[in-house]
Structure 1
Amino acid sequence: MKGFTSYAIKNLKSTGSIARSSKFLARNLAKQVPTDAKTIVELGAGDGIITRELLKYMPQQAHLTSYEISEELLALLQRIDHPRFSLKHSSAMDIVQDFAIDSVDCLVSCLPLALFPLEMKHELLTHIRSVLKPNGLFLQYQYWLSDKQLIKEYFPHLKTNWVPLNLPPSFVYTGTAPNSELVAE
């Protein structure tokens, strides 16, 4: 593959981006991983720029499992050699088959949520909530705030920060899984 940008432009509907994530966005996400996290999941690993930052900053005891559905991008991710890294060539929806309920400490979503149909967004967020431990951390970035209210249904104490040094500039949602049952259905 020539590069992520050419891939992204050809596959805009699946990547949701025209350029790879910046190191600033990647670092913003990675530095939010809790210091006591043991199980970290990344959805939509892309070309691995965020994956590499997660591996660099994650706690010593943590293990990262990244999901990528694209065969072309998977080839780039397979170059990552790290003892605490697993790669899954499957849909993000498969997290409920791969992880037990309340077993994930931190989940980082790099999926183009804004491009998903509403029903799929609800299904994905329900799956994410089910695998996250109570007080587990959910991170999602977007280029605009279109899904903020929807995400807030699942993560009521949602915080947002802005990363201007990304193309396009991005918003990062940070949510903590409540101790109670799902708010949305």
Structure 2
Amino acid sequence: MAWTLRPAIPAGHKVTADEFDAILDQIEYLSQARECSLIADHAGVANNITPGGVGTITNLSRLCLPNSKHHASGLIAYSAHINGDFRPSAALPSGSTVQRASLRSMTSTNDSSSGDTYYGSATTLGTLTAPGQTTSSDIVWCEYDIIFTTGATAGSATLTYAQGSSNATATYVRAHSTWRVEAIDAV
């Protein structure tokens, strides 16, 4: 079943049993589809430091309800050259506001700061960078989290990425990376 926004119900309209069942099906669909996983390596990007640009949008995407707070989290496997690095980001529904983004990367013998936790709270994502490796085919893991509030428009939160520094050796998101988006209570 594909998600579609229900058109506005006119005043005085009574919801039929079939319409009500369809609404319940949509709710069930949304509640079961919180996480997705990449089953093959993403195509990769080279000489690109702008997440969301051509070639940087992955298939890792989940739906978001309007006017609600969400937590998006990714356990991302990537390969990046030490001079290219990895810059995760996300395309969010129109009107969304980012409260915080954080990035934690696994320790690298080639970069003593790669075990640090990086935080950002800007409304523009794509400012955090995880280190690459001397051998660009090595696979590195990082955790990427975003807390955001959607505006009046429903839509999808989609993982995007680019290089931290422009480099001819491509940066890839690898298979088995996961992306989870769920509504949370505002605290």
Q: TM-score, normalised by structure 2?
A: 0.25
Relative contact order higher in (CA < 8 Å, ≥ 6 apart): 2
Which structure carries more strand by proportion?
2
When the two structures are superposed, what TM-score results if normalisation uses the length of structure 1?
0.26
Q: Which has the larger radius of gyration?
A: 2
